[in-house]
Chains A and B, each alone.
Chain A
Amino acid sequence: MPEKVPAQSANTPNAQTQAHAHAHVNTKKIGAVLGKNSVPIFFLLLSIGGIIAAGLDINYLINELLGRLGRNSFLVLSLLIPIIAGLGLNFGIVVGAMAGQAALIITTHYGWTGLGGFGLAALISVPIAMVLGWLTALVLNKAKGREMVTGMILGFFANGVYQLVFLVLLGWVIPMKNPAIMLPSGIGLKNTIDLFDISYALDRGLDFIWDGFIMTEVGSIPIGPWRIPILTLVVTALLAWAISFLIRTRLGQQMRAVGQDMHIAEVAGINVNRTRTVALVISTVLAAWGQLIFLQNIGTMNTYNSHEQVGTFAIAALLVGGATTRKATIWNAIVGVLLFHTLFIVSPLAGQKLLGIPQVGEYFRVFLAYGVIAVALALHAWQAKVKSNKELRGE
């Protein structure tokens, strides 16, 4: 093994290779940039193709995207910290979404409205999400190396418990009376709950300054109508800043270390399980808030389904943005949301135009979400295997 290693200093490549490399540097650089971003570029081309095929109005698309950027980015960002801490894609954010919904049910029951009601829901969701995040960490710390599949099953399991609480126990064991949101029998919540109390509470929270509405013409090109969810985007930007701040703290450094190698981190005196727990608790709380932001934009809650696909769609978006199960940045999240949702908007229309069957597009986007995740996971597992083989051979 030792003989094979070139005894060459890392920062002084010898002159010959340097000269050689110079000629190729430009093409190589471009190649590297393309290679590094091949996933988002592929989806960008796919989106453009879809837009052309569907003959979509760009102003409509931008308006839609602004709304979706606002309501989805927070959820996608909540995935970052567990990736940094080496837990992979946190399929357990479904649990966080449930915490958010539980809080929302409480505020809706008491009829708290507006931005205040929304803020209260955010506040109430914190302790719930913290406890659930802690429980998630308990489970995932027992399943090291298979956190993702365990997190996914945990989501399904938690869904069962959630339904038990809100469909069976509520009104039967837990005393609550509210015909507006409960089933006629007085037991369990309705399938859909109207959220007009807090609808757009955050999106339009700054309306008293400016309603974010744009409709103008530049030259003769009509711009708009667009509606920017200003406060939501501000809050999302704050989160992005907070995450990048966290990475630069001691805790963030510990998370990065644990994420790279648990054993080495342990030897360095870092409490691995604790660090992973903190990462999961933060992620779960953020997911709860993310779900609240999502729901205030949508305006209604499918009590028993709204959270189910949260994990899948957020994860697919992040992966489309070029993230992997081990590395993800804020830009991956934002680019991913834009691209993934462009496809989401475009594909039914393109399906309709191309095949005359609108459902094709519907299924195509579901296929897309699952397919992206499958490919990303497979690629990651494959790379990990190739890498470990190389290490075994001592390369």
Chain B
Amino acid sequence: MSNANTNANANAPTPASSGRVAENRIIKAVANFLEWYGVPRLIITCFLLALLILAVIYRMDLGSLLGDSLKRVGMNGLLVLAMVPTITCGAGLNFGLPVGIICGLVGGVFSMSMNLTGFTGFFVAILLALPLSVIAGWLYAKLLEKVAGQEMMVGTYVGFSVVAGMAIFWLTAPIKNPSMIFAIGGQGLRYTLTLYDYYAGVLNNFLAFNIVIGNFAMTIPTGLLLFFGFFCVLMYLFFRSRTGLAMLAVGSNPEYAASSGINIRKMRYTGVIMSTVLGAIGIIVYAQSYGFLQLYNAPLYMAFPAIAAILIGGATLRKATISQVIIGSILFFTLLTTALPVVQTVLDGSEVGGGISEIARMIIQNGAILYALTRVGRR
């Protein structure tokens, strides 16, 4: 936006020749397009297209690339969706997502310790996580209320401390299931808990099918996508309900909301609690797809990919939509999934490949967040 304006302003006073005017018009049109599509989204789209073209040129297994990407989108989708309520209610990006994630992990761990398997295990995990995440969300909302204006920074470090503090809990948790605790010592949960005998893949395999066209074969994780889709629809409907629109007003202009008789505090709390709950469910979905529950420091940086995804989808610090969640998830996670195998194939034989996709993730993810943070807040 600022680009478009400065260009227009800078050139306006000079008596421009017609060529200049045409040039200006092109600049303006380009600027408008960038404004509409968004610079990060454009860069990522180009990257992704380049990777896919390379994959085709190098005759890679496109089916498994796309199948894996779809899986990755589905497993991260809810965590990205969790950003929408906090952005909409005016609390900004939820850097404190680990608060919700931890609740989900606790649910997942206890469901596992009860030796529940399949969908039972999965849903019991969610049921256990729900009350926890509502309480944690409420407390977190209370804190954010006190630090309004600094939510992002405080959220980040609250998230970090909760993760570190919970590590002590994992070490001392009263769980005796031998497949979950350290082999030596008889106490303390393992760093990663394998879900294969419990509820790994329940959603991914639900109604899953293969598409085979000649050489091209890809697996569709139907249940996973349905689950993500279901929550997207729920959220979509919510933001068209009276409460959802009230939340939107609170985030967009608190004074307008107040003058409309909306209880601002209640809406902020609702938004933060919703986000925390989504984070909790999100990590359980993630874990069943991944096949492991990752404890200790693993959730530390989990908020960042979700934040990057929604920003790449075109969201700002003040506004986010469900379509941005879906577009952002697809772009960012497909990119992450395809980058490694494509780069490795292209740089065949060279040892460079290994690190490069992780490096690309760091640069793209944090670049997208940086871009959003440095854009001037309009008001």
Q: List the B side residues contacting A160 at CB < 8 Å.
A: 359-363, 366
Q: How far is the CA of A159 from the CA of B156 in the complex (A)?
A: 18
Interface 9-mer from B48-56, B165-173, B325-333: B165-173
B187 in complex: contacting residue of A146, A156, A164, A357, CB < 8 Å: A357
- Nearest chain A CB to B294's CB is how many angstroms away? 15
A382 in complex: contacting residue of B147, B168, B187, CB < 8 Å: B147
Given contacts A142-B374, A142-B376, contact A163 B359 (CB under 8 A): yes
Whether the pair A167, B156 counts as a contact (CB closer than 8 A) is: no
Q: List the B side residues contacting A355 at CB < 8 Å.
A: 172
B188 in contact (CB, < 8 A) = yes
B149 in complex: contacting residue of A143, A185, A371, A381, CB < 8 Å: A381
Q: List the B side residues contacting A284 at CB < 8 Å.
A: none
B43 in contact (CB, < 8 A) = no
- Nearest chain B CB to A165's CB is how many angstroms away? 10
Given contacts A153-B369, A167-B359, A382-B147, contact A357 B376 (CB under 8 A): no
- Nearest chain B CB to A143's CB is how many angstroms away? 5
Whether the pair A370, B160 counts as a contact (CB closer than 8 A) is: yes
Q: How far is the CA of A172 from the CA of B150 in the complex (A)?
A: 43
Give the most central of A145, A154, A163, A363: most B CB within 10 Å. Answer: A363
Q: List the B side residues contacting A163 at CB < 8 Å.
A: 355, 358-359, 362
Q: Count residues on chain A whose CB falls below 8 Å from chain B CBs.
A: 45
Whether the pair B304, A146 counts as a contact (CB closer than 8 A) is: no
Whether the pair B366, A382 counts as a contact (CB closer than 8 A) is: no
Closest to B187 in A: A357
A296 in contact (CB, < 8 A) = no
Q: How far is the CA of A142 from the CA of B371 in the complex (A)?
A: 10
- Nearest chain B CB to A189's CB is how many angstroms away? 11
- Nearest chain A CB to B252's CB is how many angstroms away? 19
Whether the pair B157, A370 counts as a contact (CB closer than 8 A) is: yes
A124 in contact (CB, < 8 A) = no
- Nearest chain B CB to A351's CB is how many angstroms away? 9
Whether the pair B164, A367 counts as a contact (CB closer than 8 A) is: yes
Q: List the A side residues contacting B365 at CB < 8 Å.
A: 156
Q: How far is the CA of A355 from the CA of B165 in the complex (A)?
A: 15
Q: How far is the CA of A163 from the CA of B354 in the complex (A)?
A: 12
Whether the pair B362, A157 counts as a contact (CB closer than 8 A) is: yes
Whether the pair A357, B172 counts as a contact (CB closer than 8 A) is: yes
Whether the pair A187, B350 counts as a contact (CB closer than 8 A) is: yes
B157 in complex: contacting residue of A167, A366, A377, A385, CB < 8 Å: A377
Q: List the B side residues contacting A363 at CB < 8 Å.
A: 164-165, 167-168, 171, 296
Whether the pair B147, A157 counts as a contact (CB closer than 8 A) is: no
B161 in complex: contacting residue of A168, A185, A188, A367, CB < 8 Å: A367
- Nearest chain B CB to A329's CB is how many angstroms away? 22
Closest to A161 in B: B363
- Nearest chain B CB to A171's CB is how many angstroms away? 9
Whether the pair A150, B359 counts as a contact (CB closer than 8 A) is: no
- Nearest chain B CB to A199's CB is how many angstroms away? 28
Given contacts A163-B362, A363-B171, A377-B153, contact A370 B147 (CB under 8 A): no
B164 in complex: contacting residue of A145, A161, A167, A366, CB < 8 Å: A366
- Nearest chain B CB to A338's CB is how many angstroms away? 22
Q: How far is the CA of A234 from the CA of B246 in the complex (A)?
A: 61
Closest to B167 in A: A363
Chain A, 365-394, CB within 8 A of any chain B CB = 366-367, 369-371, 373-374, 377-378, 380-382, 384-385
Chain B, 283-299, CB within 8 A of any chain A CB = 296
Q: How far is the CA of A371 from the CA of B375 in the complex (A)?
A: 29
Q: List the A side residues contacting B367 at CB < 8 Å.
A: 157
29 of the cross-chain contacts (CB-CB < 8 Å) are A139-B370, A142-B376, A146-B152, A146-B153, A152-B156, A153-B366, A154-B370, A156-B304, A160-B359, A160-B360, A160-B361, A161-B363, A163-B358, A164-B363, A168-B359, A187-B350, A357-B172, A359-B171, A369-B164, A374-B154, A374-B157, A374-B161, A377-B150, A378-B143, A381-B146, A381-B153, A382-B147, A384-B150, A385-B148
Across the A-B interface, the 3 shortest Cβ-Cβ residue pairs:
A160-B362, A381-B147, A381-B150
Further contacts, 6 of them, CB under 8 A, given A154-B370, A377-B153, A385-B148: A142-B375, A148-B153, A168-B352, A187-B352, A357-B185, A371-B157
